[in-house]
Amino acid sequence: MNIWLLTHTEELKKSTGTGKIVKDTLGMACKIVEWSRVAPDQRILDLDPNNTLLVYSNNEAEITSCDKSLSTVQNIIIIDGTWQQAQKMYNKSPYLKKFGHYEICGLKSVYNKRRNQKAFGLCTVEVAIYLLNEIKHPLTSTLQSKFDEFNQ
């Protein structure tokens, strides 16, 4: 599975951003793509909707499921930014709507570097940990340890 972090420009400047932890741990299995409203990254545009899921909770989107097996999914897109930034990125990127949406249900964030704007909103690294755990990826515990250390 490849994880694509569609990252807001401002997120790349923040020391509290957790996408870097995901990239550092997963290496080539994680791609950070800087989001652009006017020039979408061709690599995201070229992803096959049949084996790509977007992790994003949106009342308007059809949710694939929070129980769906991820074992056959080749690409996961995570929108990396604050909740306001993520909503803007999703709304201004019509190409994202072609991907099935995956929602992580019932988890509460333990991230304490920033105030969470949603009761059940997870930070980027928490989403990645959840996804890796679901497919029993060998780097799950490494990523969890790096996040725990970062979050102290």
Structure confidence at residue 22 (pLDDT)? 98
pLDDT tens per residue across span 67-76:
567 888 999 9
Tokens of 115: 């105030």
Strands (DSSP E) contained in 27-74 are 30-34, 52-55
Q: Where are the domains of the chain?
A: 2-150
145: CB partners within 8 A, 6+ apart: none
pLDDT tens per residue across span 16-56:
889 999 999 999 999 999 999 999 999 999 999 999 999 98
Tell me which residue of 1, 110, 137, 130 sits closest to 67, measured CA to CA: 130
Contact 54, 44 (CB under 8 A): no
Structure confidence at residue 71 (pLDDT)? 80
